[in-house]
Amino acid sequence: MRYWLGVLGLVLGGLIHGCAQAQPAPASAAGGQNVATGIERWLMRLNEASRNRAYQGTFVVTAGADMSSSRIWHVDDGQQQMEQVESLTGTPRTTFRRNDEVVTFLPDSHTVVHETREALGLFPNLLTRADASVTRFYRLRMVGQDRVAGLQADMAQLLPIDTLRYGYQIWTEQKTGLMIKLQTLDVHDNVLEQAAFSSLQLGAPVSMAKLAAMMDNTQGYQVIHPTLVKTTAELEGWLLGATVPGFAPVQCYKRHDGGATADKAPLQCVYSDGLASVSLFVEPFDPLRHAHMLEHGQMSLGATSLRVRRLGPWWLTAVGEVPPQTLLAFVQALERKP
Protein backbone atom coordinates (compact mmCIF):
# COMPACT_ATOMS: atom_id res chain seq x y z
CA MET A 1 0.00 0.00 0.00
CA ARG A 2 2.89 2.38 0.74
CA TYR A 3 4.14 2.00 -2.82
CA TRP A 4 0.75 2.67 -4.33
CA LEU A 5 0.21 5.76 -2.27
CA GLY A 6 3.46 7.02 -3.68
CA VAL A 7 2.57 6.29 -7.28
CA LEU A 8 -0.85 7.80 -6.71
CA GLY A 9 0.77 11.03 -5.67
CA LEU A 10 3.10 11.03 -8.65
CA VAL A 11 0.28 11.46 -11.11
CA LEU A 12 -1.99 13.79 -9.14
CA GLY A 13 -3.07 16.86 -10.96
CA GLY A 14 -4.59 18.75 -13.86
CA LEU A 15 -4.17 17.68 -17.45
CA ILE A 16 -2.72 20.11 -19.91
CA HIS A 17 -4.81 19.47 -23.01
CA GLY A 18 -2.84 19.51 -26.22
CA CYS A 19 0.61 19.25 -24.64
CA ALA A 20 1.09 16.06 -26.65
CA GLN A 21 -0.68 14.42 -29.53
CA ALA A 22 -2.08 10.89 -29.66
CA GLN A 23 1.28 9.57 -30.88
CA PRO A 24 4.02 11.71 -29.29
CA ALA A 25 7.23 12.40 -31.16
CA PRO A 26 10.57 11.42 -29.58
CA ALA A 27 12.42 14.29 -27.94
CA SER A 28 15.13 13.95 -30.56
CA ALA A 29 12.70 14.53 -33.42
CA ALA A 30 11.86 17.94 -34.84
CA GLY A 31 10.10 19.94 -32.15
CA GLY A 32 11.11 17.33 -29.59
CA GLN A 33 12.28 19.96 -27.12
CA ASN A 34 8.76 21.40 -26.98
CA VAL A 35 7.35 17.91 -26.35
CA ALA A 36 9.81 17.37 -23.49
CA THR A 37 8.94 20.71 -21.95
CA GLY A 38 5.24 19.84 -22.23
CA ILE A 39 5.74 16.55 -20.40
CA GLU A 40 7.64 18.26 -17.57
CA ARG A 41 4.94 20.89 -17.23
CA TRP A 42 2.23 18.24 -17.31
CA LEU A 43 3.94 16.17 -14.60
CA MET A 44 4.54 19.12 -12.33
CA ARG A 45 0.93 20.19 -12.59
CA LEU A 46 -0.15 16.62 -11.87
CA ASN A 47 1.93 16.70 -8.72
CA GLU A 48 0.36 19.99 -7.59
CA ALA A 49 -3.29 18.96 -8.03
CA SER A 50 -3.94 18.23 -4.35
CA ARG A 51 -2.74 21.62 -3.11
CA ASN A 52 -5.43 23.57 -1.25
CA ARG A 53 -7.84 20.68 -1.68
CA ALA A 54 -9.58 18.27 0.68
CA TYR A 55 -11.13 14.95 -0.20
CA GLN A 56 -11.94 11.54 1.19
CA GLY A 57 -12.58 8.22 -0.47
CA THR A 58 -12.04 4.47 -0.66
CA PHE A 59 -8.95 3.39 -2.56
CA VAL A 60 -8.64 -0.14 -4.02
CA VAL A 61 -5.43 -1.78 -5.24
CA THR A 62 -5.56 -4.93 -7.38
CA ALA A 63 -2.47 -6.99 -8.26
CA GLY A 64 -3.27 -10.32 -9.90
CA ALA A 65 -5.58 -12.20 -7.55
CA ASP A 66 -4.66 -9.98 -4.60
CA MET A 67 -6.76 -6.99 -3.63
CA SER A 68 -6.45 -4.47 -0.81
CA SER A 69 -8.46 -1.41 0.06
CA SER A 70 -8.02 1.62 2.27
CA ARG A 71 -9.95 4.67 3.35
CA ILE A 72 -8.17 7.98 2.73
CA TRP A 73 -8.76 11.43 4.24
CA HIS A 74 -6.61 14.21 2.78
CA VAL A 75 -6.37 17.95 3.42
CA ASP A 76 -3.90 20.62 2.29
CA ASP A 77 -4.02 24.32 3.16
CA GLY A 78 -1.15 25.30 0.88
CA GLN A 79 1.34 25.40 3.75
CA GLN A 80 0.83 22.01 5.35
CA GLN A 81 -0.71 18.77 4.23
CA MET A 82 -2.10 15.92 6.27
CA GLU A 83 -3.75 12.63 5.58
CA GLN A 84 -5.08 9.56 7.29
CA VAL A 85 -4.96 6.17 5.57
CA GLU A 86 -6.89 3.34 7.24
CA SER A 87 -6.52 -0.20 5.91
CA LEU A 88 -9.80 -2.00 5.29
CA THR A 89 -8.22 -5.37 4.43
CA GLY A 90 -5.40 -7.43 5.89
CA THR A 91 -3.64 -6.48 9.12
CA PRO A 92 -5.33 -3.49 10.79
CA ARG A 93 -3.26 -0.34 10.57
CA THR A 94 -3.82 3.38 10.38
CA THR A 95 -1.16 5.72 9.00
CA PHE A 96 -1.09 9.48 9.48
CA ARG A 97 1.20 11.86 7.65
CA ARG A 98 1.86 15.50 8.43
CA ASN A 99 4.23 16.75 5.75
CA ASP A 100 7.24 14.41 6.18
CA GLU A 101 6.23 13.13 9.64
CA VAL A 102 4.67 9.65 9.41
CA VAL A 103 2.98 7.82 12.29
CA THR A 104 1.63 4.27 11.86
CA PHE A 105 -0.72 2.75 14.45
CA LEU A 106 -0.69 -1.08 14.71
CA PRO A 107 -3.57 -1.96 17.04
CA ASP A 108 -2.90 -5.72 17.12
CA SER A 109 0.50 -5.17 18.74
CA HIS A 110 -0.43 -1.90 20.45
CA THR A 111 2.57 -0.21 18.87
CA VAL A 112 3.09 3.03 16.99
CA VAL A 113 5.95 3.53 14.54
CA HIS A 114 7.01 7.19 14.36
CA GLU A 115 9.25 8.14 11.43
CA THR A 116 10.42 11.15 9.48
CA ARG A 117 10.60 10.43 5.80
CA GLU A 118 11.63 12.47 2.81
CA ALA A 119 9.13 13.03 0.02
CA LEU A 120 10.05 9.91 -1.95
CA GLY A 121 7.28 7.37 -1.90
CA LEU A 122 4.92 9.50 0.15
CA PHE A 123 1.44 10.56 -0.87
CA PRO A 124 1.04 12.90 -2.67
CA ASN A 125 4.61 13.61 -3.83
CA LEU A 126 6.64 11.17 -5.87
CA LEU A 127 8.09 13.26 -8.68
CA THR A 128 11.45 12.55 -7.13
CA ARG A 129 13.81 14.37 -9.47
CA ALA A 130 12.83 17.50 -11.37
CA ASP A 131 15.25 16.93 -14.24
CA ALA A 132 15.10 15.70 -17.80
CA SER A 133 15.17 11.96 -17.02
CA VAL A 134 11.40 11.59 -17.22
CA THR A 135 11.27 13.33 -20.59
CA ARG A 136 14.14 11.21 -21.93
CA PHE A 137 12.69 7.88 -20.91
CA TYR A 138 8.90 8.37 -21.09
CA ARG A 139 6.49 9.70 -23.69
CA LEU A 140 3.10 11.29 -23.02
CA ARG A 141 -0.03 10.23 -24.92
CA MET A 142 -3.58 11.54 -24.50
CA VAL A 143 -6.12 8.75 -25.04
CA GLY A 144 -9.66 10.01 -24.29
CA GLN A 145 -12.27 10.28 -21.54
CA ASP A 146 -13.96 7.85 -19.13
CA ARG A 147 -15.92 7.73 -15.85
CA VAL A 148 -14.41 6.55 -12.56
CA ALA A 149 -16.22 6.48 -9.21
CA GLY A 150 -19.06 8.39 -10.88
CA LEU A 151 -16.76 11.21 -11.99
CA GLN A 152 -15.80 12.32 -15.49
CA ALA A 153 -12.12 11.72 -16.14
CA ASP A 154 -9.48 12.41 -18.78
CA MET A 155 -7.16 9.56 -19.72
CA ALA A 156 -3.46 9.73 -20.52
CA GLN A 157 -0.53 7.35 -20.79
CA LEU A 158 3.12 7.67 -19.82
CA LEU A 159 4.90 5.16 -22.04
CA PRO A 160 8.55 4.09 -21.59
CA ILE A 161 10.99 4.17 -24.49
CA ASP A 162 12.82 1.02 -23.33
CA THR A 163 12.20 -2.25 -21.45
CA LEU A 164 13.80 -1.13 -18.17
CA ARG A 165 10.62 0.51 -16.85
CA TYR A 166 6.86 0.10 -16.98
CA GLY A 167 4.25 2.40 -18.46
CA TYR A 168 1.29 4.03 -16.72
CA GLN A 169 -2.29 4.73 -17.74
CA ILE A 170 -3.80 7.57 -15.76
CA TRP A 171 -7.35 8.85 -15.16
CA THR A 172 -7.69 12.39 -13.77
CA GLU A 173 -10.93 14.05 -12.68
CA GLN A 174 -11.76 16.65 -15.32
CA LYS A 175 -12.58 19.65 -13.10
CA THR A 176 -9.88 19.32 -10.45
CA GLY A 177 -7.23 17.24 -12.21
CA LEU A 178 -7.04 14.86 -9.24
CA MET A 179 -5.76 11.41 -10.17
CA ILE A 180 -8.53 8.90 -9.50
CA LYS A 181 -7.26 5.76 -11.24
CA LEU A 182 -3.88 4.36 -12.24
CA GLN A 183 -2.84 1.24 -14.13
CA THR A 184 0.73 -0.04 -14.47
CA LEU A 185 1.35 -1.52 -17.92
CA ASP A 186 3.95 -4.00 -19.16
CA VAL A 187 5.67 -3.82 -22.53
CA HIS A 188 2.61 -5.38 -24.21
CA ASP A 189 0.22 -2.92 -22.52
CA ASN A 190 -1.12 -5.65 -20.23
CA VAL A 191 -2.29 -4.34 -16.84
CA LEU A 192 0.04 -5.54 -14.10
CA GLU A 193 -1.56 -3.61 -11.27
CA GLN A 194 -4.42 -1.19 -10.81
CA ALA A 195 -5.16 1.42 -8.15
CA ALA A 196 -8.40 3.38 -8.18
CA PHE A 197 -10.88 5.22 -6.02
CA SER A 198 -14.11 3.22 -5.84
CA SER A 199 -15.73 6.23 -4.14
CA LEU A 200 -14.50 9.78 -3.81
CA GLN A 201 -15.89 12.95 -2.24
CA LEU A 202 -14.14 16.08 -3.48
CA GLY A 203 -14.24 19.11 -1.19
CA ALA A 204 -14.95 16.86 1.78
CA PRO A 205 -15.08 18.52 5.22
CA VAL A 206 -11.73 17.07 6.37
CA SER A 207 -10.42 18.82 9.50
CA MET A 208 -6.67 19.22 9.77
CA ALA A 209 -7.00 19.86 13.51
CA LYS A 210 -8.96 16.64 14.01
CA LEU A 211 -6.42 14.59 12.05
CA ALA A 212 -3.59 16.14 14.03
CA ALA A 213 -5.25 15.31 17.35
CA MET A 214 -5.73 11.67 16.31
CA MET A 215 -2.16 11.46 15.02
CA ASP A 216 -0.69 12.81 18.26
CA ASN A 217 -2.79 10.65 20.60
CA THR A 218 -0.56 7.63 21.27
CA GLN A 219 -1.94 6.86 24.74
CA GLY A 220 -1.95 3.11 25.39
CA TYR A 221 0.57 2.40 22.60
CA GLN A 222 4.28 1.67 22.71
CA VAL A 223 5.97 4.26 20.47
CA ILE A 224 8.89 3.04 18.36
CA HIS A 225 11.32 5.50 16.77
CA PRO A 226 13.46 3.69 14.16
CA THR A 227 16.88 5.29 13.86
CA LEU A 228 17.77 6.14 10.27
CA VAL A 229 21.24 7.52 9.60
CA LYS A 230 21.66 9.33 6.30
CA THR A 231 24.64 8.15 4.27
CA THR A 232 25.68 7.14 0.75
CA ALA A 233 26.50 3.79 -0.80
CA GLU A 234 30.08 4.92 -1.44
CA LEU A 235 30.60 5.96 2.19
CA GLU A 236 29.47 2.49 3.25
CA GLY A 237 31.93 0.82 0.89
CA TRP A 238 29.65 0.10 -2.07
CA LEU A 239 29.45 1.27 -5.66
CA LEU A 240 27.54 0.48 -8.83
CA GLY A 241 30.01 -0.94 -11.32
CA ALA A 242 27.63 -0.07 -14.16
CA THR A 243 24.82 2.48 -14.04
CA VAL A 244 21.27 1.57 -15.05
CA PRO A 245 20.13 4.09 -17.71
CA GLY A 246 17.94 6.84 -16.28
CA PHE A 247 18.26 5.81 -12.62
CA ALA A 248 20.15 8.08 -10.22
CA PRO A 249 20.69 7.86 -6.43
CA VAL A 250 18.00 9.66 -4.42
CA GLN A 251 18.66 8.76 -0.80
CA CYS A 252 20.50 6.20 1.30
CA TYR A 253 20.06 5.22 4.96
CA LYS A 254 21.42 2.84 7.55
CA ARG A 255 18.80 1.52 9.95
CA HIS A 256 19.88 1.02 13.55
CA ASP A 257 17.38 -1.10 15.46
CA GLY A 258 19.51 -1.57 18.54
CA GLY A 259 20.80 -5.08 17.82
CA ALA A 260 23.23 -4.50 14.97
CA THR A 261 26.62 -2.85 15.25
CA ALA A 262 27.26 0.17 13.05
CA ASP A 263 29.18 -1.82 10.41
CA LYS A 264 26.46 -4.50 10.27
CA ALA A 265 23.39 -2.24 10.25
CA PRO A 266 21.13 -2.83 7.22
CA LEU A 267 21.62 -0.34 4.40
CA GLN A 268 18.90 0.89 2.02
CA CYS A 269 19.72 2.99 -1.04
CA VAL A 270 17.01 4.28 -3.36
CA TYR A 271 17.48 5.00 -7.06
CA SER A 272 14.89 6.66 -9.27
CA ASP A 273 14.31 7.73 -12.86
CA GLY A 274 11.93 10.43 -11.62
CA LEU A 275 8.89 8.11 -11.74
CA ALA A 276 9.86 4.52 -10.95
CA SER A 277 12.15 3.69 -8.03
CA VAL A 278 14.36 0.80 -6.96
CA SER A 279 15.49 0.08 -3.40
CA LEU A 280 18.74 -1.77 -2.82
CA PHE A 281 19.10 -3.40 0.60
CA VAL A 282 22.45 -4.65 1.92
CA GLU A 283 22.81 -6.72 5.07
CA PRO A 284 25.03 -9.54 6.40
CA PHE A 285 24.18 -12.95 4.96
CA ASP A 286 22.19 -15.10 7.41
CA PRO A 287 21.94 -18.79 6.36
CA LEU A 288 18.82 -19.33 8.45
CA ARG A 289 16.96 -16.45 6.79
CA HIS A 290 18.43 -16.24 3.32
CA ALA A 291 19.63 -19.64 2.07
CA HIS A 292 16.21 -20.86 0.89
CA MET A 293 15.67 -17.64 -1.08
CA LEU A 294 18.67 -18.44 -3.29
CA GLU A 295 16.64 -21.28 -4.82
CA HIS A 296 14.21 -18.75 -6.25
CA GLY A 297 16.18 -15.54 -6.57
CA GLN A 298 13.27 -13.64 -8.10
CA MET A 299 9.67 -12.95 -7.09
CA SER A 300 6.95 -10.72 -8.50
CA LEU A 301 3.55 -9.50 -7.39
CA GLY A 302 1.70 -7.23 -9.76
CA ALA A 303 4.12 -4.49 -10.79
CA THR A 304 6.52 -5.04 -7.86
CA SER A 305 9.43 -7.44 -8.24
CA LEU A 306 12.21 -8.66 -5.96
CA ARG A 307 15.64 -9.98 -6.85
CA VAL A 308 18.32 -11.31 -4.46
CA ARG A 309 22.01 -12.14 -4.65
CA ARG A 310 24.64 -13.38 -2.25
CA LEU A 311 27.96 -11.55 -2.48
CA GLY A 312 30.44 -13.18 -0.12
CA PRO A 313 29.34 -12.38 3.46
CA TRP A 314 26.70 -9.93 2.19
CA TRP A 315 23.09 -10.36 1.14
CA LEU A 316 21.74 -8.03 -1.54
CA THR A 317 18.04 -7.46 -2.21
CA ALA A 318 16.60 -5.26 -4.96
CA VAL A 319 12.91 -4.32 -4.80
CA GLY A 320 11.01 -2.04 -7.12
CA GLU A 321 8.03 -1.47 -9.35
CA VAL A 322 10.14 -2.13 -12.44
CA PRO A 323 10.68 -5.14 -14.76
CA PRO A 324 12.75 -8.00 -13.29
CA GLN A 325 15.63 -7.37 -15.71
CA THR A 326 16.05 -3.90 -14.22
CA LEU A 327 16.47 -5.34 -10.73
CA LEU A 328 18.90 -7.93 -12.11
CA ALA A 329 21.00 -5.13 -13.59
CA PHE A 330 21.13 -3.45 -10.16
CA VAL A 331 22.12 -6.51 -8.11
CA GLN A 332 24.74 -7.52 -10.67
CA ALA A 333 26.20 -4.01 -10.79
CA LEU A 334 26.53 -3.50 -7.02
CA GLU A 335 30.09 -4.18 -5.92
CA ARG A 336 32.11 -3.96 -2.73
CA LYS A 337 34.81 -1.31 -2.99
CA PRO A 338 38.33 -2.76 -2.91
In 3D space, the residue among 285, 283, 273 whose CA is nearest the CA of residue 320 turns out to be 273
Which structural domains are found in the chain, ordered by start? 2-216 (2.50.20.10), 227-336 (3.30.200.100)
H or E stretch covering 243: none
Q: Which long-range contacts (CB under 8 A, 24 or more apart) does 16-25 make?
A: 16/41, 16/42, 16/45, 17/142, 17/154, 19/140, 20/139, 20/140, 20/141, 20/142, 21/142, 22/141, 22/142, 22/143, 23/141, 24/139, 24/140, 24/141
Q: What is the b/e burial string over 229-249, where b = at least 16 CB atoms within 10 angstroms of the residue's CB?
A: eebebeebebebeeebebbee
Digits of tens for pLDDT over the chain (338 positions)? Answer: 333 333 333 322 222 222 222 233 333 333 445 555 667 777 776 777 777 789 999 999 999 889 999 999 999 887 888 999 999 999 999 999 998 899 999 999 999 999 887 643 433 343 444 455 788 899 999 899 999 999 999 999 999 999 999 999 999 999 888 889 999 999 999 999 999 999 999 999 999 999 999 999 999 999 999 888 899 999 999 999 888 999 999 899 998 765 555 567 899 999 998 889 999 999 999 888 887 776 666 788 889 999 999 999 999 999 999 999 999 999 999 999 88
Q: Is the preceding peptide bond at 338 cis, omega within 30 degrees of 0?
A: no
